[in-house]
Structure formats: structure tokens, C-alpha cells
Amino acid sequence: MTEPSVFTRILRGEIPAEIVTETENVFVIRDIAPKAPLHLLVIPKSPDYRDVTELAAGDPALLAEMVAVAKDVAAEHGDGDFRLVFNTGSGAGQTVFHVHAHVLGGDLTEGSLG
């Protein structure tokens, strides 16, 4: 059996973290090492999907729910504008293989990808 991810351990209360909000299927925490003025993680409660490609193929409705929750928390905790990042694969910086979306907000125009 594989070890539970850090996010599953947070959800179980085994690792301390403030749950910013949650729905039936998704929960949100603040990133422990923020990379932007607002840096939240939107995480499915299910540990079944390692990354966004698996989630999109296996449960697109859950992916859509994550995006909707990201929109809500960006409005509630920031100014409503946000960058949504799914690191996918270790070469892209993914370190936790339990799919999660980084919600980055604040003034990000300096580091714009566009």
C-alpha cells in the first residue's frame, strides 16, 4: 500500500493546517511556502488522482468543481483575479502526487506568463 499523501494526512487531522473552506468533495488550505500574496491549494478529498491529467480523464466534474472553488476562494480571500497552476510531473515541480491546484493571487502582472 502506498503512503497517504501529505494532503490526506492534513484532511485526517494528522498534520496541522487551517482548512480555509471545504465542500463535499474538495478542501482548501494555505500553502505552507507561499509564492504569491495569496497562495491557496484546492485539493480533492479523494486521493485517487495523482495529477490533473488523471483527474480530467477520470472525473471531469470534480475538476470543474475545483475550478469553481478556486474562483470562490480567489474572490473571498483576494480581489477575484487569480492564476491556476497544476504542476504535472516532477520535472515541472510537482512534489505531492495527490492532485491539487495552486490558486495564486495578488498583483502578478510582473511575473505574467503572457
Residues forming the active site: 100
Give the number of residues in contact with ligand 5GP, rule: CB under 6 A: 14
User: How would DSSP label each residue in 60-94?
Assistant: HHHHHHHHHHHHHHHHHHSSS--EEE---SGGGT-
CA pair distance 4, 74, nearest whole angstrom:
28
Looking at the DSSP assignment, which residues form a beta bridge with residue 27? 22, 43
Stretch near ligand 5GP under the rule CB under 6 A, chosen from 63-71, 74-82, 94-102, 106-114: 94-102
Q: What mask, x for binding ligand 5GP by CB under 6 A, covers residues 14 to 53? A: -x-x-----------xxxxx-------x------------
User: Of 84, 94, 106, 108, which one interacts with ligand 5GP (CB under 6 A)?
Assistant: 94
Nearest to 26 by CA among 49, 3, 2, 53: 49
Contact residues for ligand 5GP (CB under 6 A)?
6, 15, 17, 29-33, 41, 87, 93-96
